[in-house]
Amino acid sequence: MRVRLTKSFAFEAAHDLPTFPANHKCRRLHGHSFRFDVIVEGDVEPAKGFLIDYGDIKIATEPILKRLDHYYLNEIPGLENPTSENLAKWIWDQLQPALPDLSAIIVHETCSSACEYRGP
């Protein structure tokens, strides 16, 4: 049985987007209540009946949340241009070594805007 599990996380952070046009609103310093989904995919061993403990996803993700929550994202190495696209890849790169079954990261910058990254 193949399954995909999703666990969602949230953090608050500020950013500006230096590659947008000079008069674009995203060039100004502003903040978001970001959310992101960590999606893992794999085969369930029948004897176990589950793919991974959701708690293990949380343990793997907590160090990343600590680096993002209430920070100015542009100052974090690798996030000098913190678009949702780059943020999704950055989270993937941090998380994948601890979660080999990682399938996708979805960053929700607002309630209606999201970017999904499925790895290289």
**What span, in angstroms and rounded, lies between the C-alpha atoms of 92 and 37?**
11
Check if 26 is active-site. Answer: yes
Active site residue 24: no
108 is catalytic: no
CB-based contacts of 78-83 (< 8 A; 24+ apart in sequence): 79/15, 80/18, 81/17, 81/18, 81/19, 82/15, 82/17, 83/17, 83/19, 83/115
User: Which residue in 62, 70, 75, 80 is the catalytic one?
Assistant: 70
In contact, 88 and 94? CB cutoff 8 Å: no
Q: Annotated catalytic sites, by residue?
A: 26, 70, 109
